[in-house]
Amino acid sequence: MSALPASPEELLISIRSFVKGIHARSGHKLTSEEHARCALHLLRTLPAARTAVLEHLCHVFDESVNSYLFELEGEASTGLNLDGVIQEIYDVLLNFVNTNADAWSPLISSWSIDLLGQISSTYAGRRGVPHPSSLNELLQLWMTCKATRTLMDVASQCFAAMVGTCPDLCVDALLDTSVQHSPHFDWVVAHIGSCFPNTIITRVLSCGLKDFCNSQSQGLVASDKKVPKMASVVGILGHLASQHSQDIRKALLELFQESLESDEEQHLFTVPFLLQLATMSPMLLRVITTDFVQALTPDVLNRLSEQFFKSSLLLQDKDSLLTLVIHLICRSGSGAFKLLCFLLDRACDRGQQSKVNEHVQKTCALILDLLVLDLQRSVYSQTGNLSLAQQTGASSAPETTEIPFLTELQKHTNTLCADILTAGKQRLPWLQRLLGLIGVHCGESCATDILTCVLIKQSAASEVCLFTSLQAEIEAAFPNILPRTLSKTMNQLQRIEESETKQLLINLTELLKWETVGAGRATPRFSFRSALVPHLHPLSTQLHHSDLTIATQTMELLQLIGRPQPVSMVTLVGVAQSAAEFFFTAMHISRGNSNRHRILDQCQSYLSAWCQLSMGQQLVLRTLLEGITNRQNCYLFGGKPSIEGELAPLRDKQTSLLKENQKFANASFTLPASNSAVFHAGTIGRGLKPKAEQAAISKEDVLQNCQYFLDTLYLCCLGREASPTPTPPAPVLSLKPIDEKAARSLAGLLVELACPDVAHIGVAWPEEEHMKLTVERDLFVRRRFEENPLFWDFLEIISRVPAALCQCAVLLYSLHATLIAFWDTSRVTRGDSAPAQLRATCRLLECMKQSGFLPPPLCYCSLLVPSLEPSEINLLLTTIWAFLKENPPSFNTPLSKPDLSGKYVSSFPPGVTLRYAEVIHAIVHKNISQFGDLYLQLFPTLVPITPLQGTSAVPAVAVGSPSQGQVPAQGTGTPT
């Protein structure tokens, strides 16, 4: 179409042609291109026609877009090619903007933005148009279209012209169009926002705040229906967040800080506006829960408190605002821990040094209370639904709604547990409830971690209620949480530090005390003792800990747990042996330690409990007896370390034991084929024996240690548990015989320890000549008794059960033989001049007397020995040897036993002891000045006997024990 004249007549012709679409002169119908150029001519020459012209241009762009989509979809082309006309339109509009931006930019920007919105919505359903969620694909599609790209360029130019003068106009137009055509219009917002990020972000927030303030007549918390532009504001910021998140953060903080400067209505509603934005955008919520928390200093909080009381609407809708805050906190993910710490610090910031006012403190405390209640309602409603589904057998449990606040706090459970252990009385209830809710919401594994952390690190006895409260709350959702917690705790027992190990044992002890003697007895809950029983074995390993306080605390804990029933073999072996070994550790505690007696009593009581089991009794007895022979323990009981196994380094010169033994080939007797054939001064090829180092310990301590050990051994042999307050056994009790099975076990162990090379087996007493063949073994047994004086006490305990002492016949034989050999060669004048050998002789005779191996008067020889000469002692021992050879001990029945008065009544046949009583009578008669007072006890009834050939006539003794001064019938046998 040729250029139209600018005269009034030509202008009128152009108007008529534009309105009718027919050329006024030629009468032909105008094509789309001609019609568009006619409209542009009017726009240039007749500004008043701009509304009609711009409306017509909308059709031109619409036809161009439609033609483009037809070609894109593969349909037949419409035949229109409006690209040239569109370029002319762009040039005309751009010229208007450049020549008079103030007048044309608002008009053209509003028209182009609105037209882009209409086109986006109209053609959103076309087959070739991507879904609005695919923002990049949608943007690429429209930017390749000539018409929409031209409109976008026009809008961008208008925005650029208006940024410095009236940015709110273009932003308002953008928001209004976004409200009408979202989400199809999002690509326009994304493009324009990326071109002017700072301006768009700032002005969008400002316009949104103004619109929010204008909508407050119906309430504070505005929905997207009350404030339709809120969704557009959130959408625009959301599109820009991927590349301009820092700009958005900066704009939000500036908007917040600006609101603190005055008390204008718009500034008063800035915080509610930001909170409303956070409810609609997770991205904005993250900004508020992270950056804003750091900006909320005490001065800022006090300022916000002042602003709040100056707004009647805010005071009126306080509950709605609190509900909104609670809702946002529950939805907050990253930054939840900092937010919680902020609320706790402000709520507990009281006193004269507080930096925030009382209203801020009470508000933060109220928020925490409401938050806990809301979380509790959400958590237990989900847990209840899940439990109900499991009980009813539903095929699929309802999906659990995640609570971001608790899920985020799960990452900080260790910090929260450490905080709760040092929290004050006001802070503690909130942390306790929150930790319980975290455990219930995040699963059994998280709950186990929380309880384990508290159990290991709590350091005060008063904090026992903290663990039990957490356990009670979590146990409602997970009934087996306590066994799982203790299993995890025991797994960490070997990996944690010593201080934590000690604290853990103390805490477990306090919990057991609380359960058994405290308020826990009436509390319906899973038993701590039942949960600890499966972990006795790993707990008992702590009895070997190098730190004595840890070991003693473990013993106290094990005693509180007690002996389970039934018990596995692994647990029995591990715990019984460890407890018995700890007994010696406790014996090493110095007497100055006030806890020594308590620890030993606990250990004694615990060992006696395990000895109620047959296998436990054998393990404990073996460990106790082996323990006193240990070189680290023997000096505690007056013993000396054995040097048999402590060998010196071999000499360079090789020595053949075979050749050395061949030197004795012509000997008159044969040495036993034993692997212990050594000289007493040393071992062949290894030099002299090393000297034993004797630890310094007083006799009083030795006596006390021996008494403790024997009391413990006695209780273990009885097979019954000690009293709650153990005391040394009374004399009458200590004389009672122990359990026969325990005595047999004790006898077997004593023989094993004192005489490993057993050549003489059985109770038949050998000939006196046989002593020459067992010299080495006899000396070894005697040396073992000298190194371990408690062996004599063991022998006395065993002698109370004659059948058990029969098992120790080899020990009696060896001791007897060495004593005969000593007194036979002794050069002392009296027996008491060799106190060690005298004491051994008396104790051996007392053991035989106690067991009933010797009848009267042989059983009373121990009363004579201290005052006799060595030759007389030798004669007595030889006589007893001869008696035992002819009357060996019996496994079945005792040979003699005491009556009610304590005197021994013979069970031997009449006349058996007459021949042996002659020797005793002769010795007593020779020393009658010393033994006159014992004569009646030794020989209550004298009868004449026929003298033996070659001897003078001496009165013989009819063996028996008279009752009330009368001679029993058995003792009045006929003379020999």
The SS3 of residue 736 is: coil
Q: What does the pLDDT read at residue 235?
A: 75
More confident site: 295 or 399: 295
- Evaluate if residue 371 carries a pLDDT over 90: yes
pLDDT band at 172 (very low <50, low <70, confident <90, very high): confident
Q: Is 484 inside any structural domain?
A: no
Last residue of a domain, one of 173, 195, 217: 195
In this structure, are residues 178 and 238 in contact, taking their beta carbons and an 8 Å threshold?
A: no
Q: What does the pLDDT read at residue 956?
A: 39
- Cα gap 974→73, rounded to integer Å: 143
- For the residues 925-935, what does the mean pLDDT come to? 84
Last residue of a domain, one of 136, 169, 195: 195
Q: Is 164 inside any structural domain?
A: yes
Q: What does the pLDDT read at residue 132?
A: 77
| Close Cβ partners of 701 (under 8 Å, ≥ 6 residues apart) | 591, 636
Q: What does the pLDDT read at residue 397?
A: 40
Q: Is 428 inside any structural domain?
A: no
Q: Is 750 inside any structural domain?
A: yes
In this structure, are residues 210 and 266 in contact, taking their beta carbons and an 8 Å threshold?
A: yes
Number of domains in the chain: 2
Q: Is 438 inside any structural domain?
A: no
Domain coverage including residue 190: 1-195
Q: Is 614 inside any structural domain?
A: no
pLDDT band at 89 (very low <50, low <70, confident <90, very high): confident
pLDDT band at 435 (very low <50, low <70, confident <90, very high): very high
Which amino acid does the sequence have at 808? Answer: C
pLDDT band at 839 (very low <50, low <70, confident <90, very high): very high
- Evaluate if residue 455 carries a pLDDT over 70: yes
The conformation of residue 664, written as its DSSP 8-state character, comes to T
pLDDT band at 819 (very low <50, low <70, confident <90, very high): very high
Interval 28-42: pLDDT, tens: 777 778 787 888 888
Q: What does the pLDDT read at residue 828?
A: 86
- For the residues 861-884, what does the mean pLDDT come to? 90
Q: Is 941 inside any structural domain?
A: yes
More confident site: 863 or 725: 863
pLDDT band at 394 (very low <50, low <70, confident <90, very high): very low
- With 0-12 / 13-18 / 19 or more C-beta atoms within 10 angstroms meaning exposed / middle / buried, residue 767 is exposed
The SS3 of residue 942 is: strand
pLDDT band at 476 (very low <50, low <70, confident <90, very high): confident
- Cα gap 883→780, rounded to integer Å: 25
More confident site: 677 or 182: 182
Q: What does the pLDDT read at residue 140?
A: 85
Interval 602-631: pLDDT, tens: 999 999 999 999 899 999 999 999 999 888
H helix runs in 728-829, sequence order: 731-734, 740-754, 775-787, 790-798, 802-806, 809-825
Secondary structure percentages of the chain, helix, strand, coil, to 5 = 65, 0, 30
Instruction: Tell if the pTM clears 0.85, that is, is over it.
Output: no
HSE at residue 282, side-chain half, CA atoms within 13 A, is 8
pLDDT band at 731 (very low <50, low <70, confident <90, very high): very low
- Evaluate if residue 186 carries a pLDDT over 90: no
Q: Which residues pair with 29 in a beta bridge?
A: 22
- Evaluate if residue 523 carries a pLDDT over 60: yes
Last residue of a domain, one of 144, 178, 195: 195
Q: Is 861 inside any structural domain?
A: yes
Q: What is the mean pLDDT of the chain?
A: 79
- Cα gap 190→178, rounded to integer Å: 11
Interval 224-283: pLDDT, tens: 444 566 777 787 777 777 778 888 888 888 888 888 888 787 888 888 888 888 888 888
- For the residues 678-705, what does the mean pLDDT come to? 66
